[in-house]
């Protein structure tokens, strides 16, 4: 779905987190970023993915990653999601679709015979220099951290 490729400079995004604070890719200069796009707070697949990242958060931190999730849900929805599942990372509210469009992850989807527009679950692993090292299309929600760490190991 996305036109971005591994090796491309990651688009510099700017959005509001769950507290209304502006967060930008430039805030993470010199760090590795797990930028993951997901369809909707509190849904089964999105909850499984967020909880997998939460449960393995220390392993990601040890490899130098910060985790940032993005959906088109509101700041308030993100705050409830974080509180309910004790998520230790930032979630950006992209209600105006700027970030999902920058990364090319919003578009036509099909589910149970219905066609609609929504977020295609996608993760971008961005290196310390702001370059996309890996793109994980259709991540395994229950084993997402393992996918990320395997890709990191292959890069070493």
pLDDT digits (tens), the chain, 156 positions? 678 999 999 999 999 999 999 999 999 999 999 999 999 999 999 999 999 999 999 999 999 999 999 999 999 999 999 999 999 999 999 999 999 999 999 988 887 888 888 899 999 999 999 999 999 999 999 999 999 999 877 766
Its pTM stands at: 0.94
Fold for domain 14-155? Glutaredoxin (3.40.30)
CA proximity to 93, closest of 41, 45, 130: 41
* DSSP structural state of residue 79: H
The pLDDT score that the predictor gives to residue 156 is 60
Question: How distant, in Å, are the alpha carbons of 1, 42, 120, 129, 135 from that of 32?
Answer: 23, 26, 22, 8, 14
Give the three-state DSSP class for 119: strand
Active-site residue, from 25, 33, 34, 46: 46
Q: Judge residue 95's burial from the number of C-beta atoms within 10 Å of its C-beta, 0-12 exposed, 13-18 middle, 19 or more buried.
A: middle
46 noted as active-site residue: yes
């Amino acid at each position: 779905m996305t036109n971005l490729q591994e090796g491309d400079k990651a688009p510099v995004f700017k959005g509001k987190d769950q507290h209304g604070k502006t967060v930008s890719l430039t805030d993470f200069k010199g760090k590795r970023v797990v930028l993951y796009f997901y369809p909707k707070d509190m849904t089964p697949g999105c909850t499984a993915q967020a909880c997998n990242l939460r449960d393995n958060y220390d392993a990601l931190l040890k490899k130098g990653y910060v985790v940032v999730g993005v959906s088109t849900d509101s700041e308030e929805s993100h705050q409830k999601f974080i509180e309910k599942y004790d998520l230790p990372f930032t979630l950006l509210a992209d209600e105006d679709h700027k970030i999902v469009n920058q990364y090319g992850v919003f578009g036509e989807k099909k589910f149970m015979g219905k066609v609609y527009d929504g977020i295609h679950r996608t993760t971008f692993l961005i290196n310390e220099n702001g370059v996309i090292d890996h793109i994980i299309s259709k991540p395994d929600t229950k084993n997402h951290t393992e996918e990320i760490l395997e890709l990191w190991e292959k890069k070493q």
